[in-house]
Every structure is written in C-alpha cells, then in structure tokens.
Amino acid sequence: MCTCKRVRLGTLAVLCLVWLCVVGVGGTRIPPESSQTFGLGKPATSAEIQSWNIDVGPDGEGLPPGQGSVQEGAKVYTATCAACHGPTGREGPMNRLVAGEGTLGTDHPVKTVGSYWPYATTLYDYIFRAMPPTAPQTLSPDEVYAVVAWILFQNGIVDETTVLDRQSLPAIRMPNREGFVPDPRPDVP
Amino acid sequence: MNPRDVQLGDWMNKATKILRNVFPGRKFNRRAFLLGATSLLGVTATPWLFPSRSEPAPMNPADPTRVPGSPARMYGQRSPFVEARRIPALTRSRTPLQDLHGVITPSALHFERHHNGVPAIDPTRHRLLVHGLVERPMIFSMDELKRFPAVSRLAFIECSGNSGSQWEEPVQLTAQQIHGLISTSEWTGVSLALVLRESGIQPEATWILAEGSDAAALTRTLPLASIIDEALLCYAQNGEPLRPEQGYPLRLLLPGWEGNACIKWLRRLKLVAGPLMTREETSKYTDLMPDGKARQFTFEMEAKSVITTPSGGQRLPQPGFVEIRGLAWSGRGRVTRVEISVDGGMAWQPAELQEPVLPKCHTRFRLGWWWDGKEALLQSRCTDETGYIQPTRRDLIRVRGTNSYYHYNAIQSWKITKEGRVENVYV
C-alpha cells in the first residue's frame, strides 16, 4: 500500500517535471536560436511606407516623376541655396559645391560635388531630405531636379540645355566615380 | 480660517513634531519653524530672485553639521561645486574626459553630434518602419519595441572625426577639446535581429538603410552580415530613457563602429541589395588618402588611448606623486595592454587596467609616477585583443597622409614643462 502510494507520487513528480520542461512556468520558453517571432508590431500600410520612403539609390530607384532644367535650377539656387553656398557654389561659407577638379591627390584637396561625389543620385536624395536646413523636404521634385541640374552644369558635368528627370539623372557618370576604395585597415604597421 | 490654512497649520505642526523627534534637545514651535523655513527659502530663492552674471554662489555653511540640509528632490542634481561641462558648438559638444572617473560617461555629459539640431519627439507618436526586401513590412510603436526581450551592454560611441585636429599642426588644447567626441554608456534595447525576424528578411537583402527622424533625416546604409550579431535598437542609456541628444526615443547602436552610423531618432529600416551611397557615406565620412583615392565604409574605430591626468591645459602644482590616468578603447574588442612612457616613447611600462575590461568599451588605466620637476613627455599606447598596437603619429601619417580627416587614433604626447604646465606636442 505504502510503496504503491510512493510509486504514484513519483510518477506524478516526473510528469510535473516533464510538463514544466515542455510548457515552462506561465508560458512557453523561447530558445535563443529559434526563428520564432513575437507577434509584435503591425503590418505597415502602403500609405505609411510611401510617406517615409524618400531614399534614392545609385541606380535611380526611388526617384519621383518630374523634371527640371539648368535655367530653372539657377532661379531655385539663387533663392534657396546661394546664401550659404555662395552665388556660384564656389564661395561658401558652407560646403563648396563647385570646382576642385584635380586637387584630391594634392596637399590642398578641395572636395566638392564636382571633384568628389561619386553619384549624382546622392544629390537628389540629400537635397530633398535635408536642404534647405530651415525647411527640409519642402522643395518639389521639379525644383530638386532643377537645382541638381544647375550644380552639375556649374561643375561642367552637363551642358546648359540639360533637363534632368528620373531616367537621365542616374545615367550621369560623375568624374570621381572610381575614386573610392574599400577599407584596407589595419594598415599601419 | 479657510480649509487651506487649517491644512497648512496641520502640516506645520507635524513638521515641528518631526523636528522635535530628530533634535530632542532643542525647542521647536511653529514660530521657530516658520522662521527657519522662510530663512531657508530666502537663502535658496535669492539667486533665483536676483540672478547674478556668474554662477550662483553655492550654499556652503561654515559647519554643515549645525544647519539642516536641503530636503529630498524629485530628480537629483549634482553638487553646485561640480563644474565639469561639455563645450557646445552649434552641431556638437564634447565630453570633459579630464574631469571624469571610471569608464561611464554621465548621460548629461555624453558628447553630441547632430546634423540639423536635436529633434523634439513625442514617444507615443514615434514609429519604427521596417520595409524593403522583407516578407512583411512592419511598423512598431515604442511600447511594442520595449516588449521584445531586452539586453543591456556597455559600449563606447566615438565620432570618427574625433581628434581630427591632430592631423594638422599642434595647437594648445585640452583632452576634451582634442578627444572629447567619445563617451561610454550602458545601453539597453532590443537586438536588431529579433526585430527584423518579425518582418522576415528576403535572401537578396545584404545591406540595411537606417534613417533618423531629425531635420537632416540622416541616413546610412550598413552591411547586414557585419552588424546583425551585435546591433541594438536602444531606448535607454545609463538606466534612463535616452537623452534627446542621444536619439530619444530610439537609436541604433553598432558597438565599436563610428558614431555617425549609429543613427539616432531612428524611424526607418529598409532592407536593400547594396549601399545606397547616401551623402554621409560618400561626400562625408570617407577618408581621403595621399594618392587622391578615398576609403569608403571605414566603420570600425581602431584602438586608441589618451592620458587624461595630467593633460593639456592642466598644471602639476609641485614635484611629487602623480597618478597618471587615462582611457583606452578599441572598436575591435577588448583592450589587452596599455603602456606608459614618460620620456617620449623610449621606455615603456605597463599601466594597471581597471577591471572589468569589456569589449568595445572604455577601459580605465592608471600608473603611479614620481615627477622630479624636470621636463617630461607623457604618452600612452594601447594594444587590443587582435594584437593591433596604437600607432605613433609619424607612422599613421606615413601611411595615410594628413587629408583623411577621419579616424585619427595616434599616440597622444603631453609635454610637462619644468613649471608643471601640460602642453600638446608632436614627437
């Protein structure tokens, strides 16, 4: 009788242990290497994605419809950009945008859009998201295409009749396109 | 008497009783209490009522054992005698390394770098969007992100422009002015890998765009395989929610990588098939070499150390014992050794490292020294667990020239003059 009770209690204890191992206390244990998700977050709607999806890649992906000419760009530049970058993009006081060709390997490199930037698409992306600093993301696609065209014209990369859009902008090859190398560090013995 | 006066009277009676219990030998009544309270108010309120041009004089009774101290506070403040402060400019401020102890930077002194101001963000409205090459684009509230399994770790964040002035001719600056774009905090958040799992990553996704919710909408693209093991989406710093200037309510932390890549005010992660060549990874944060080529995606911050005591602008009062103290760190792991030279790099001796020594974190080092009053040249040189040794300035410049601007990590030399002045020199 007594032994029988012990056996039954023992079985119960083993079953409890097995149950704890499988189910855990108060829920299921999540092994660290599992691919289980947590069911947190909500599916993003296309409207939510669209309102923030403003990046432009080097292949032009993300460029919106619209177009802008060098002539229109001159007006946008004078009204919006010249106060910080100078009347022709060479004077500053903020980052110089124009000139500097052939200076990168010298003692006094001048890093500008024309001499340094490897992709023209970066100009569209950056100007729309961050310029002018007092009112970022307010320029229209036409205005951004136009001011990009004007800056590239000032650098001698496009001619003055150029009109840029989502097809023509990614096709522009920047002078310093091959000017970048991967990180070789550690490099100092 | 209106009910409010009754309440006030009750409160004063209670306070008087408490004082009688605390100071049993003294006489307290409501009149004495009122007098005490008003005089205390007078002392504390005077600087507010009559602000002077300089800092208000600290309340410092001749004998603090004879005057009751100030009451408890909702949010603590440091002593008015403590003056360590950042040096703010429009887009950055630097940590006063020479005034700190141990390895943790107080949150209020963590360096800042921002590209169009510190945004004011309501956390209840903040969202993180995960999209691009994923199975399910997802959007997360801050409450949802905090429900994921959390993790805390100590890590430094260093701006890759830190110490950049040292590429050029030496100028007399402090450790803070030269090297103050680095700080260490305990960061708490959720592993990036766990959050991405909710969306399911497509096999072509090899890079990830991170975007801030500031007025620069700052973006970097990052190689996914290199960051996935350690990247954290952080919502807390040193036990509190992030400071606004550190990305409140959410920032990316990439331990050991340049600060610019640790996007603050994080609002969007987009899985992509290659780098998007954002402005911050082409026109900026690339390292121009003497041959005119620029290194790109130079993320890791290499091993570096700096003596903070004694350091630039300080003065040794007289010959005698000086504990040389400083900080060392490596973006590639643990600091394994720090050596000190007092003769400009001819002889080296090991410094003591304060335990625990953690990977990708500040390591505090110390070495006792007897200054004999003669001219001396103090240097520290650290080695990390990969065997990398912090280079001399001469070796660094021989390889990289002086136009790379970012990632300066050469040995710092401080000259001690016979008068005890500490000057920034190149050896």
Identify which of B253, B260, B217 has the alpha carbon closest to the alpha carbon of residue B233: B253
Is B3 near chain A, with CB under 8 Å? no
Same domain? For B351 and B416 the reply is yes
Q: Would A32 be classed as within a structural domain? A: no
pLDDT higher than threshold 70 for residue A103: yes
Confidence of residue B329 (pLDDT cuts 50, 70, 90): very high
Please tell me the number of Cα atoms within 13 Å of B152 on its side-chain side. 9
Provide the domain count of chain B. 3
For residue A15, the model assigns a pLDDT of 54
pLDDT tens-digit map of B338-387: 999 999 999 999 999 999 999 999 999 999 999 999 999 999 999 999 99
Task: State the residue range of the domain holding B7.
Answer: 3-49
Please list every residue in chain A whose beta carbon sits closer than 8 Å to the beta carbon of residue B300.
183, 185
End-to-end CA distance of chain A: 81
What does the pLDDT average to over B82-98? 97
Peptide bond into A32 cis (omega under 30): no
Which residue do the tokens 């080529």 mark? B293
For residue A36, the model assigns a pLDDT of 83
What does the pLDDT average to over B106-126? 98
Q: What is the DSSP string of A126-161?
A: HHHHH-STTSTT-S-HHHHHHHHHHHHHHTTSS-TT
pLDDT tens-digit map of B301-325: 999 999 999 999 999 999 999 999 9
Contact (CB<8Å) B198/A187 = no
What is the rounded radius of gyration, in angstroms, for the C-alpha atoms of chain A?
Answer: 30
Instruction: Select the residue from B282, B390, B397, B409 to test the A interface by mutation, using most A Cβ atoms within 10 A.
Output: B282
Please list every residue in chain B whose beta carbon sits closer than 8 Å to the beta carbon of residue A187.
399-400
Confidence of residue B14 (pLDDT cuts 50, 70, 90): low
Mean of pLDDT over chain A: 89
pLDDT higher than threshold 50 for residue B7: no
Provide the domain count of chain A. 1
Return the structure tokens found at B349: 């001796």
**Who contacts B137 (Cβ-Cβ below 8 Å, separation ≥6)?**
A43, A44, A49, B129, B130, B131, B199
CA B26 to chain centre: 48
d(CA B10, CA B29): 13
Contact (CB<8Å) B295/A184 = yes
Same domain? For B263 and B321 the reply is no
> Distance of CA B334 to CAs A62, B256, B358, B361, B382, Å?
41, 10, 6, 8, 10
Bridge partners of B317, per DSSP, are none
Distance between B154 CA and the closest CA of chain A, angstroms: 21
d(CA B288, CA B113): 22
Bridge partners of B424, per DSSP, are B414
Same domain? For B217 and B345 the reply is no
Q: Would B54 be classed as within a structural domain? A: no
d(CA B341, CA B380): 6
Average the pLDDT over each of A6-15, B198-207, B257-266, B402-411 and give the range with the smallest value.
A6-15
Please give the DSSP secondary-structure letter assigned to residue A58. Answer: T
Nearest CA in chain B to A116: B283
For residue B2, the model assigns a pLDDT of 43
pLDDT higher than threshold 90 for residue B37: no
Higher pLDDT, A150 or B36: A150
Per the CB < 8 A criterion, the answer to whether B239 and B186 are in contact is: yes
Please list every residue in chain B whose beta carbon sits closer than 8 Å to the beta carbon of residue A126.
278-279, 283
Distance between B263 CA and the closest CA of chain A, angstroms: 15
pLDDT higher than threshold 60 for residue A20: no
Question: Residue A43 is nearest to which of B136, B277, B282, comparing CB atoms?
Answer: B136
Q: Would A70 be classed as within a structural domain? A: yes
What does the pLDDT average to over B30-53? 43
Q: Would B294 be classed as within a structural domain? A: no
Q: For position B373, which CATH number holds? A: 2.60.40.650
Q: Which of residues 288-307 of B touch A (CB under 8 A)?
A: 288-300, 302
Same domain? For B271 and B324 the reply is no
pLDDT higher than threshold 90 for residue B32: no
Contact (CB<8Å) B279/A122 = yes
For residue B82, the model assigns a pLDDT of 96
